[in-house]
């Protein structure tokens, strides 16, 4: 942990439908709209490991800063931990001409369009083979700059040029408008016919996130736990991609399991004002609303069913009444 603020890595492991990909981080990124499947065609089932980070003061996660860099790690460190000693093909589309790496190959300059084509800006595409933490850090040295779109784990039976051609449809129809649409998800199925794993750099609210796409489930939880332990960072599991989810909900769920499995206290302080998932808040809401609910129930009941004595009234389970109202959604 870092001073008074808690640093955490968040991750989820979910199935992924490239023809119905869902959202990315609201206001920060979106998918290129995938094409429709032919009638009767079944969508492929892919798998996605999603990783981001955050730092916050307590389990309310109010004013949390979100992105891998806010967990105290570089994006390069996370990729290198997941894929040690692997050769990767970095690729870029709509890059800035001033950010072309020295060892880049396949460099092409072109005009990119903004505002539906009303204005143009100079752009560049390139690819580069990388291996090891130093080369990754060189490409990803500024977490707030979009210098790389992603990495493919290089197969032994494909040349770099062939793989670059396969990746081109994934990013060729990207847009520069806000929020940018960078990736065509329907292409992932074809790309994963030729590579085992594809790493895409996504956006969280204040920093980068990672999406690791594969045909078979890629379980990175043990490696992420080892990385988190190296800096006493908390590793938080999510049910959905964490750049879409509420940290307070994930922390509340993790606390429930922690208190069953561990003797030591949960390493995130409780907020003085309990979160929406904390029983303290539900109890407070129940006490506050109970008189009004008693009056409403009495007014709505027909005379033949109204309670006639305190003994009868004690049989009502007001929890059942209160649980009809829905709590805050899991997604943000």
How many Å apart are CA 148 and CA 171, to the nearest integer? 12
Domain tally, the chain? 2
Domain range for 75: 6-261
Please say if the pLDDT value at position 207 is more than 90.
Answer: yes
266: left (phi over 0), alpha (psi -120 to 50) or beta: beta
Confidence of residue 294 (pLDDT cuts 50, 70, 90): low
Task: Please check whether residues 297 and 246 belong to one and the same domain.
Answer: no
- Helices 221-229 and 75-82: crossing angle in degrees, nearest 10, is 130
- Ranges of beta strands (E only) in the chain are 6-16, 46-56, 65-66, 88-95, 105-114, 119-130, 150-153, 197-203, 208-214, 234-237
Q: Is the pLDDT of residue 66 over 60?
A: yes
Most confident segment among 1-10, 254-263, 292-301? 254-263
Mean of per-residue pLDDT scores for the chain? 85
Same domain, 145 and 179: yes
Statement: residue 316 has pLDDT above 50? no
pLDDT tens digit string along 130-142?
999 999 999 998 8
Distance of CA 38 to the CA centre of its chain: 30
pLDDT for res 295: 55
In tens, the pLDDT along 297-307 reads: 555 544 444 44
| pLDDT score of 64 more than 90 | yes
Same domain (yes/no): 174, 222: yes
User: At which residue do the structure tokens 């520069």 appear?
Assistant: 176
Q: How far apart are CA 39 and CA 37, in angstroms?
A: 6
In a domain, residue 331? The reply is no
- Assigned domain for 231 exists: yes
- pLDDT tens for 243-277 read 999 999 999 999 999 999 999 999 999 998 766 66
Per-residue pLDDT band at 12 (split at 50, 70, 90): very high
Say whether both 189 and 318 belong to one domain: no
The answer to whether the CB of 140 falls within 8 A of the CB of 147 is yes
Same domain, 167 and 93: yes
State yes or no: pLDDT of 77 exceeds 60: yes
d(CA 235, CA 9): 5
Residues 157 and 251 in one domain: yes
Q: Residue 81: name the closest of 232, 237, 221 by CA.
A: 221
């Amino acid at each position: 942990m870092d001073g008074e603020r808690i640093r955490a890595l968040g991750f989820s492991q979910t199935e992924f439908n490239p023809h119905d990909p869902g959202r990315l981080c609201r206001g920060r990124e979106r998918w290129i709209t995938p094409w429709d499947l032919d009638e009767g065609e079944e969508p492929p089932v892919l798998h996605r490991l999603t990783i981001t980070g955050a730092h916050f003061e307590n389990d309310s996660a109010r004013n949390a800063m979100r992105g891998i860099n806010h967990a105290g790690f570089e994006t390069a460190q996370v990729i290198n931990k997941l894929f040690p000693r692997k050769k990767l093909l970095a690729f870029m589309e709509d890059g800035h001409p001033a950010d072309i790496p020295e060892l880049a190959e396949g460099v092409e300059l072109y005009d990119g369009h903004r505002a539906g084509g009303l204005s143009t800006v100079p752009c560049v595409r390139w690819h580069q083979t990388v291996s090891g933490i130093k080369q990754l850090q060189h490409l990803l040295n500024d977490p707030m700059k979009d210098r790389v779109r992603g990495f493919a784990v290089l197969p032994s039976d494909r040349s770099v040029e062939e793989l670059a051609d396969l990746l081109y449809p994934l990013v060729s129809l990207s847009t520069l408008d806000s929020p940018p649409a960078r990736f065509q998800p329907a292409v992932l199925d074809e790309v994963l016919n030729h590579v085992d794993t594809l790493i895409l750099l996504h956006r969280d609210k204040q920093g980068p996130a990672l999406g690791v796409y594969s045909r078979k489930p890629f379980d990175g939880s043990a490696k992420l736990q080892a990385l988190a332990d190296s800096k006493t960072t908390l590793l938080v599991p999510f049910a959905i991609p964490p750049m879409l989810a509420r940290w307070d909900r994930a922390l509340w769920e993790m606390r429930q399991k922690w208190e069953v499995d561990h003797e030591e206290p949960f390493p995130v302080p409780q907020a003085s004002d309990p979160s929406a998932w904390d029983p303290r808040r539900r109890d407070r809401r129940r006490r506050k609303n109970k008189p009004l609910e008693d009056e409403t129930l009495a007014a709505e009941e027909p005379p033949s069913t109204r309670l006639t004595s305190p003994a009868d009234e004690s049989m009502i389970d007001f929890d059942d009444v209160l649980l009809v109202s829905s709590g805050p959604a899991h997604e943000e």
